[in-house]
Amino acid sequence: MTTTQEPEQAPELVAAVDLGSNSFHMIICSVQGSQLQTIDRLKEMVRLASGLNQKNMLDEATQQRALACLERFGQRIQNFPASNVRIVGTNTLRTAKNAVQFLNKAEQAIGYPIHIISGIEEARLIYQGVAHSLQSNASRRLVMDIGGGSTEYIIGTNALPAQKESLRMGCVTISNRFFTHGEISPHRLQQAILYVRQQLSSYKNLFDHKHWDEAIGASGSIRSIRKVLLAMDWSPGGITPEGLEKLKTHILSCRHTTELNLAELDAEREPVFVGGFAILYATFQTLNIDKMSVSDGALREGLIYDYLGRKFNHDVRAETVQTLAKHYHTDPAQSERINNAITYMLTQLKPFLGAQTKVMAQYLSWAADLHEIGRNIAHSQYHKHGAYIIKHGDLAGFSQQNQNLLSTLVLAHRRKIPNKQISKLPPPWHKSAIYMVIILRLAVLLLRNRSHTALPDFKISLAPGNINLQFPEGWLDNAPLTQADLKLEAEYLTKAKFTLHAS
């Protein structure tokens, strides 16, 4: 008797792109089951932070350099499903006043959406990348990542970060500020180190060596310093204060970055090397670090593992929403009722909403869980309080664009519909979010009495500019409050250029 074996599932390819303030990185991995294997890495030194002028506008030359890089990256992943690509921008794109205009061009260049993440979210993802690149152990780790425009500090155990901070100082910004045109002097280095220590002083007690067992560095700057120390035989057992002092002596023997002439120092890293060194040296002094090892994992690896979490039902965004709802003492029973009503309507509306229905359902579910968090501040205008909390909070797993969408849904769930704000959402939400708003508003309206009595089997249909609700015969006549609410809702929707028919 012969047996037939089922064909093995083909590996799924996923990509993560980190648009850093110094370098752009892309990592491509194959995923089979829960197994991950890196199959390609791309890196280009774009120095985005160097393109910011005094008014925090990203100059044209830097934009063109970045766009050319993104076009090359885009060629490598042009056939990937959109759900398998995650692209994030960090400090410089958080800072640039013309970031939105640049992102429109950047998304066309690479062919996928780009999300801006907060410094705290960047720190969380960096820690995930580092934690998964190391053997698991129970010790508490300090993880440090020097980027081009910011430096992240995280303390955590295993895969769980406990403390996270992001400071606006990076190898590019420190180099530009203190080592203008590559010039080096004892005074310049002293001022750079003092500046970093001042920025870090408020966090000294939080990240001091008493709170962790081992220190790990993750970034191109720290890896470059480690390679130099090893090649020069100044610190063979990891990065140490003694090794950094020897490197400092060598740096001060030079008057320009082109004179560094250090073994294993790449030419493209040379212009920002001293800035990165100043940050690391000052951090060792401030936090009393006696040794630091270096990890290969960083932000892009963290993005990949975050993707795996979403794929295998460990979505940190869902955990964030539940934590926020609990913190602000929402009514879980009411949230569940509204979620059930949303699911009921989405089932009927799927032919109209199409492929976006699944993602819409996810965000509507989160909005249902969070739509009343503002009540914990004040009942009056509580939808505005809730929207503010969501938009400006550090919500793990969410990009700024994701938070803005969720915030807009909560803001729009009652009273006046913020049409201008909805139209300013990034594609595709600038056109489709209005339908999410309508669904959420109707669910909240129909369950206003917070009754455990189930809603009747009603019919709903959507068309451009039209909403039709059909209830069982006589039901509306026996629900005068709902009838009045629907009449008022029709007036709100008219201003959003929709007509509501209820019978």
Q: Give the type of residue at 331.
A: D
The pLDDT of residue 135: 66
Which contacts qualify for 237-244: CB closer than 8 Å, 24 or more apart?
A: 237/291, 238/291, 238/292, 238/293, 238/294, 239/280, 239/284, 239/291, 239/292, 239/293, 239/294, 240/290, 240/291, 240/292, 241/284, 241/289, 241/290, 244/277, 244/280, 244/281, 244/284
CB atoms within 10 A of CB 41: 11
Distance CA 238, CA 6 (A): 48
Tens digits of pLDDT across the chain (503 residues): 333 344 445 568 999 999 999 999 999 999 877 678 899 999 999 999 999 999 999 999 999 999 999 999 999 999 999 999 999 999 999 999 999 999 999 999 999 999 999 999 999 999 999 998 886 565 899 999 999 999 999 999 988 999 999 999 999 999 999 999 999 999 999 999 999 999 999 999 999 999 999 999 999 999 999 999 999 999 988 999 999 999 999 999 999 999 999 999 999 999 999 999 999 999 999 999 999 999 988 999 999 999 888 888 788 999 999 999 999 999 999 999 999 999 999 999 999 999 999 999 999 999 999 999 999 999 999 999 999 999 999 999 999 999 999 999 999 999 999 999 999 999 899 999 999 999 999 999 999 999 888 899 999 999 999 999 999 999 999 999 999 999 999 999 999 999 999 99
- What token pair was written down for 225? 């310093």
How many CA atoms lie within 13 Å of 54's alpha carbon, on the beta-carbon side? Answer: 0
Rounded distance between C-alpha atoms, residue 91 and residue 170, angstroms: 9
CA distance linking residue 85 with residue 381, whole number of Å = 38
Check residue 3 and give its pLDDT. 37
pLDDT at 1: 34
Same fold, 12-116 and 120-297: yes
Q: Output the pLDDT for position 139.
A: 84
Q: For residue 486, give the nearest of 470, 500, 467, 465 by alpha carbon.
A: 500
Q: Sheet containing 499-502: which strands, arranged edge to edge?
A: 459-463, 466-470, 499-502
Residues 6 or more apart from 146 whose CB is under 8 A from it? 170, 171, 217, 219, 221, 222, 276, 279, 280
Report the CATH number of the 12-116 domain. Answer: 3.30.420.40
Torsion over CA: 231, 234, 235, 239 (sign): negative
Q: Which stretches within 312-456 are classed as H helix?
A: 316-327, 332-353, 357-370, 382-392, 400-411, 419-423, 429-446
User: How far apart (Å, rounded) are the C-alpha atoms in residues 459 and 482?
Assistant: 16
**Two tokens at 27?**
């990592």
Rounded CA gap, 170 and 175, in Å? 8
Residues 6+ apart with CB under 8 A from 44: 23, 24, 69, 72
Sheet of 160-167: strand order equals 160-167, 151-157, 140-146, 214-217, 292-294
- Global pTM? 0.91
Give the Cα-Cα-Cα angle 287, 292, 296 (nearest 5 degrees): 125
* Encoded amino acid at 294, one letter: V
Selection from 42, 400, 57, 148 nearest residue 408 by Cα: 400
Name the residue type at position 186.
Answer: P
Domain spans in the chain, listed from the N-terminal domain onward: 12-116, 120-297, 315-502
- CATH topology for 120-297 is Nucleotidyltransferase; domain 5 (3.30.420)
For 388, counting Cβ atoms within 10 Å of its Cβ (0-12 exposed, 13-18 middle, 19+ buried), the class is middle
The CATH architecture that domain 315-502 belongs to is Orthogonal Bundle (1.10)
The CA distance from 395 to 413, in Å, is: 20
- Residue ranges of E strands in 174-220: 214-217
Q: What are phi and psi of 240, to 5 degrees?
A: -130, 160
